[in-house]
Protein backbone atom coordinates (compact mmCIF):
# COMPACT_ATOMS: atom_id res chain seq x y z
CA UNK A 1 0.00 0.00 0.00
CA UNK A 2 1.30 3.43 -0.88
CA UNK A 3 1.32 6.02 1.85
CA UNK A 4 0.62 9.74 1.59
CA UNK A 5 0.40 10.50 5.31
CA UNK A 6 3.23 13.03 5.36
CA UNK A 7 2.23 14.88 2.20
CA UNK A 8 -0.44 16.87 4.02
CA UNK A 9 2.08 18.12 6.54
CA UNK A 10 4.54 19.12 3.83
CA UNK A 11 1.76 20.92 1.98
CA UNK A 12 0.94 22.81 5.16
CA UNK A 13 4.60 23.74 5.53
CA UNK A 14 4.67 24.96 1.96
CA UNK A 15 1.82 27.31 2.72
CA UNK A 16 3.29 28.63 5.98
CA UNK A 17 7.00 28.51 5.20
CA UNK A 18 6.98 31.47 2.93
CA UNK A 19 8.97 34.22 4.56
CA UNK A 20 12.17 35.14 2.84
CA UNK A 21 13.86 36.71 -0.09
CA UNK A 22 13.34 35.90 -3.75
CA UNK A 23 16.22 33.42 -3.53
CA UNK A 24 14.84 31.80 -0.39
CA UNK A 25 11.40 31.43 -1.97
CA UNK A 26 12.82 30.20 -5.27
CA UNK A 27 14.99 27.67 -3.46
CA UNK A 28 12.06 26.48 -1.36
CA UNK A 29 9.90 26.17 -4.49
CA UNK A 30 12.58 24.11 -6.22
CA UNK A 31 12.94 21.89 -3.12
CA UNK A 32 9.18 21.32 -3.01
CA UNK A 33 9.14 20.41 -6.70
CA UNK A 34 11.98 17.99 -6.03
CA UNK A 35 10.05 16.56 -3.10
CA UNK A 36 7.08 15.85 -5.39
CA UNK A 37 9.36 13.98 -7.78
CA UNK A 38 10.97 12.02 -4.95
CA UNK A 39 7.60 11.16 -3.38
CA UNK A 40 5.92 9.97 -6.57
CA UNK A 41 7.18 6.33 -6.49
CA UNK A 42 5.49 5.84 -3.11
CA UNK A 43 2.08 7.20 -3.92
CA UNK A 44 -0.67 6.40 -6.37
CA UNK A 45 -1.09 10.08 -7.12
CA UNK A 46 1.71 12.65 -6.82
CA UNK A 47 1.14 15.22 -4.10
CA UNK A 48 -0.03 18.66 -5.16
CA UNK A 49 1.68 21.44 -3.23
CA UNK A 50 0.02 24.87 -3.53
CA UNK A 51 3.11 27.05 -3.52
CA UNK A 52 3.99 30.17 -5.45
CA UNK A 53 7.03 32.38 -5.07
CA UNK A 54 4.71 35.40 -5.12
CA UNK A 55 2.81 34.16 -2.05
CA UNK A 56 6.07 33.29 -0.39
CA UNK A 57 7.58 36.70 -0.99
CA UNK A 58 4.40 38.44 0.22
CA UNK A 59 4.98 36.91 3.68
CA UNK A 60 8.50 38.35 3.97
CA UNK A 61 7.64 41.09 6.44
CA UNK A 62 6.09 38.60 8.87
CA UNK A 63 9.06 36.30 9.28
CA UNK A 64 12.02 36.72 11.58
CA UNK A 65 15.61 35.89 10.72
CA UNK A 66 15.18 32.73 12.80
CA UNK A 67 12.16 31.79 10.65
CA UNK A 68 14.20 32.34 7.51
CA UNK A 69 16.89 30.06 8.88
CA UNK A 70 14.26 27.39 9.56
CA UNK A 71 13.00 27.72 5.99
CA UNK A 72 16.56 27.36 4.70
CA UNK A 73 16.98 24.25 6.86
CA UNK A 74 13.69 22.82 5.53
CA UNK A 75 14.86 23.49 1.97
CA UNK A 76 18.17 21.75 2.64
CA UNK A 77 16.44 18.83 4.32
CA UNK A 78 14.02 18.34 1.42
CA UNK A 79 16.88 18.59 -1.06
CA UNK A 80 18.73 15.91 0.90
CA UNK A 81 15.92 13.37 0.74
CA UNK A 82 16.51 10.35 -1.48
CA UNK A 83 13.84 9.21 -3.90
CA UNK A 84 11.22 7.13 -2.16
CA UNK A 85 10.73 3.50 -3.09
CA UNK A 86 8.32 0.91 -1.79
CA UNK A 87 11.25 -0.91 -0.18
CA UNK A 88 12.42 2.23 1.67
CA UNK A 89 9.04 3.83 2.29
CA UNK A 90 9.13 3.60 6.11
CA UNK A 91 12.63 5.04 6.37
CA UNK A 92 11.80 7.73 3.82
CA UNK A 93 8.65 8.71 5.72
CA UNK A 94 10.74 9.09 8.89
CA UNK A 95 13.17 11.34 7.02
CA UNK A 96 10.28 13.46 5.75
CA UNK A 97 8.91 13.72 9.27
CA UNK A 98 12.32 14.90 10.47
CA UNK A 99 12.25 17.67 7.86
CA UNK A 100 8.74 18.64 8.94
CA UNK A 101 9.62 18.58 12.65
CA UNK A 102 12.59 20.86 12.07
CA UNK A 103 10.32 23.45 10.46
CA UNK A 104 7.47 23.13 12.94
CA UNK A 105 8.76 25.94 15.15
CA UNK A 106 8.13 28.75 12.69
CA UNK A 107 6.77 31.78 14.50
CA UNK A 108 3.00 32.28 14.34
CA UNK A 109 3.47 35.54 12.41
CA UNK A 110 5.34 33.68 9.68
CA UNK A 111 2.59 31.12 9.23
Please give the Cα distance from 107 to 31 (Å, whole number). 21
pLDDT tens per residue, range 30-82: 999 999 999 999 888 777 777 788 888 887 778 899 999 999 999 999 999 99
Please give the Cα distance from 70 to 67 (Å, whole number). 5
Contact (Cβ atoms closer than 8 angstroms) between residue 55 and residue 28: no
How deeply is 7 buried, as exposed, middle or buried, from its count of CB atoms within 10 A (0-12, 13-18, 19+)? buried
Residue 109 has pLDDT above 90, yes or no: no
Q: What pTM does this model have?
A: 0.78
Non-local CB neighbours of 60 within 8 Å, separated by 6+ positions: 19, 20, 21
Amino acid sequence: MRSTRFFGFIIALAVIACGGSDDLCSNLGAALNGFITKATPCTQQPPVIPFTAAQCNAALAHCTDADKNLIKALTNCLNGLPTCSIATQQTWATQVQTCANNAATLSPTCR
